[in-house]
Every structure is written in C-alpha cells, then in structure tokens.
Structure 1
C-alpha cells in the first residue's frame, strides 16, 4: 500500500499500479461521552487503510469534515454544506483522474455525507466519464445481526452504539473510554423520518443504542466482513467495466 501524501513526485511518477485511489471520508461530530469527536474520521481512515492493503490502492488523506446537520447542535460538532462537500469530492476526482488513477473509491463513515457523495459521483461520471465507487459500510446491518447482542435503536441509525463502538475498539481502542459508555434508546417522535429533527431533541447523551455491549472482537468481525463486501463489489464493477471495453 502507498500513501499519497508520503510519496515524492518522482516516487508517484514511478508507481506501476495506479488503478485505485482510496479516499476516507469522515465527519467531526459528537459520539457520546465515551468516544471522540473525530470518531468518523478515525473509522474512515482505519477501514480505508485496511482496504488499501488488500487491493493495493493508493491511500489519500482523509477528508475530516462532513455534512453534520442532525448533530450540529451538540457541543464540538462542525458541519460542511452538502454543496461544499460535493465540490470537494468532484475536485479530488478530477485530480486523481488527471494523475492517471482509474477508479476513486470513497470509504465513507458518516451517513450524512451520502447525498453529497452520490451526487458528486453521478455528476463526475456524466462530465468526464470517471467512475467513483462509494461505500458506507456495505452489508453492515446484516453483519451486525449475527455479531451484536443489543437491538438497534432505529433501523437506519448506527451511532455511538454497540456496532460503532465495537468498530472503534478494533480500529483504535485508545480512542474509546468504556468506563463512560452508556445505554440510551431515544424515543423517536412521529415524523422523525419524514421531517428535519435535530438529534439532540431526542437524545441526551448522543448515544443511539447500547454502547456498553461493545467489544473489540465484535468490531473485528464487523469490519472484516464489511471490507470483504467492498472487495466483492469492487471486483464486480471493474470486471463489468473491463468487459464493456472489449
């Protein structure tokens, strides 16, 4: 694995494998009393690094800010607009294509980024025919059903709970204080999924599930399964593209 920012220009020029550039995309937001504001950044970079090692990609520096509307009123959270994030992704995509990369792979750890990611990928494909492959933990819900003990607090939310805390314990347990972990199952009001509602209106601690149930072993199982899913999807996409060129 090569890290883009650790190479000299001559070392980059001499690379024989520029098929994949891998971009970790995180966010800066609260993750309960037991985890850091940069949890999404640490997870995105950690998972991207593991993926890069397996597929021999070039690891790009992490985008450490994301679209954090739902949690922006918690102390310490910072947010980019969807338009700003989309513009950053598109500029990076144009840049890596110019530098000879065949695919940009985005490893996203924050669901709030997905609108910007999907729109950027579609627009850059229409504009310059460059393929962006994007992931937000593919298959994680099914994996978690077989690994985790506690129920999810909401079908579409994975945040500072057993799942995400376990993942962070595996990536870097020095950034988790399990003595501060709490269990919190918010009561979601009618219309929670149909209209904008700040998450501090439903959560006191910023935890959406049972963080106390997290373990490093669960995190290892979840992340390894997610990475295997990523690799399968990447192989299928690249195989299809190669067949279309023949």
Structure 2
C-alpha cells in the first residue's frame, strides 16, 4: 500500500497532512497510444511521476484525473481511433475547478497539478486562474507543470541518441512515453508491436473534421524505435529532480533524503 496516495488514507490521516504537505493532483487522459501501449498511458505516467515527486518532498497524491481534453490529430491521434475518450474544454475547466475548490476548502495551501496530456494545459491553467485570480495573498498557491518542460537540455540527446528529436507534439507514444512505460510498467508494453512509422510532414493547421489520411493506421505519430527502460529511468529521474527544485523555490518544500 503506497503511503502517499490520498485514496489509501482515512479522513483523519488525510486531514493530518494538510498543514505541512504539498498536494499533488495528477492529470492525464484516455487516448490511443499506437498498437504497443495501453490507452491509459497519460494517466498512469501522471500518477507514477507524482509518486516519484512525493517520495522526495512532503507530499501526498490525490486520485488521478484520468480523462482529458480532446486528443488532437497531430499530437495524439485525435478521435480517429476507438478508445480515445475526450472531454470538452469547458468540462475539463469545470471538473478541475471543482476539485481545486474542494482541496482549498480542506485547507491545502500548496497544490501542484502534474499534467501528462499535451492538450490539457490551457484548460488546467484556466481552471487555476479562475479560482485564484482575486487572491491577494501569496498562499494558497497552485502550480501547474509537466515532465517534458522539466527535462534538462543535456538529457534530450541521451534519449534521442539514435532517432532525431521530432518535437514534443509528435513524441506521442514514441520514444519518451514508451521508455517511461518500459521503466514503470514493462508488462504493459507490447514491444513486438512497435512500428517504425509516423507523420512525415505535420500540418501547420488543424482541420475539422480531421482527415483520416493524416495519421498512419497504427496511430503512431513518430517511431518508438530505440526506446528503453534505461531511457525511461533517465527521463523520470531528471524531470522529477527539476520539479523538486522549483517546488523548493515556490513552496520551501522539505526534501526527503533517501538511501
């Protein structure tokens, strides 16, 4: 039983954490990730990364928001594939607003939202802004971040040592996510189904409805070739350390020293 998960706590245990801990809210999505990864990659990574952060600071992890904003064709495959379950932007804002409101009502002063779905960010930012825009004091404070913006520059060439980095939008279900899943949940990675294909010339515009010819039949936007559990470990450790660094700055978080 993980001691950092709010869902595993009694209400008294939960209440005892409010004053001196950070609350982490993981947010992902349910969307296609090619033939080799499960639909819940974004939600799984959001929770695993949040727990990795919680191991290093005084933090607890709220139940993961597993649904997210629409998966767009050139950054997630879009609605062209069964199993991609999308929310409207207004729904994401309302859902996250309501959750933040409840956490603030419980007394949380330090909240971190960890997003692992590329398309979520503007709507999560809107929810946080709406609930905090009239506040004059420094606390309570809400932070929003993700793993890809917290990778150090020197790490990216180590991850993309065989395949050129295509940009984060096309990295959907490709080397980074596949490697992280190999690190966290290798039993869920169908390595034999990895295909070496993607979008050669991503459009500079969006089309409604999306064109079925834009995405390869596999749903992959870029190759996952050269993925490895070691690269996943490197991504997680580096991004987690960098997130902990800004938490120390913003929240004066106490780092837990582990062996």
- The residue that corresponds to 1:221 in the other structure is 234
CA contact (8 A) 2:24 2:113 kept: yes
- What CA distance in whole angstroms lies between the structure 2 residues aligned with 1:188 and 1:32? 19
SS in 1 for 2:66: coil
Unmatched 5+ residue regions in structure 2?
73-77, 253-259
- What CA distance in whole angstroms lies between the structure 2 residues aligned with 1:22 and 1:16? 12
Aligned length, in residue pairs:
237
RMSD over aligned Cα, in angstroms? 2.0
- The residue that corresponds to 2:132 in the other structure is 125
- The residue that corresponds to 2:123 in the other structure is 116
TM-aligned CA deviation for residue 199 of structure 1: 7.6
- Structure 1 pair 12/133, CA: closer, same or farther in 2 (3 Å)? same
TM-aligned CA deviation for residue 103 of structure 1: 1.5
Q: Normalising by structure 2, report the TM-score.
A: 0.84
- What CA distance in whole angstroms lies between the structure 2 residues aligned with 1:199 and 1:39? 24
Match status 1:146 vs 2:158: yes
CA contact (8 A) 1:107 1:134 kept: yes
TM-aligned CA deviation for residue 141 of structure 1: 7.5
TM-aligned CA deviation for residue 69 of structure 1: 3.6
- The residue that corresponds to 1:60 in the other structure is 62
Match status 1:194 vs 2:205: yes
- The residue that corresponds to 2:255 in the other structure is none
What does 1:1-246 align with in structure 2 at a 5 Å threshold? 1-15=3-17, 17-70=19-72, 71-128=78-135, 130-137=140-147, 138-140=149-151, 142=153, 143-149=155-161, 150-154=163-167, 156-188=169-201, 192-196=203-207, 198=210, 200-204=212-216, 205-239=218-252
- Structure 1 pair 9/214, CA: closer, same or farther in 2 (3 Å)? same
TM-aligned CA deviation for residue 220 of structure 1: 0.2
CA contact (8 A) 2:114 2:145 kept: yes
TM-aligned CA deviation for residue 127 of structure 1: 4.0
- What CA distance in whole angstroms lies between the structure 2 residues aligned with 1:200 and 1:235? 46
- What CA distance in whole angstroms lies between the structure 2 residues aligned with 1:49 and 1:211? 25
Structure 1 residue runs of 4 or more that deviate by more than 4 Å after TM superposition: none
- What CA distance in whole angstroms lies between the structure 1 residues aligned with 2:66 and 2:130? 22
- What CA distance in whole angstroms lies between the structure 2 residues aligned with 1:102 and 1:85? 22
TM-aligned CA deviation for residue 17 of structure 1: 4.8
TM-aligned CA deviation for residue 40 of structure 1: 0.8
- Which has the larger share of helix? 1
CA contact (8 A) 1:35 1:177 kept: yes
Unmatched 5+ residue regions in structure 1?
240-246
- Structure 1 pair 199/101, CA: closer, same or farther in 2 (3 Å)? farther
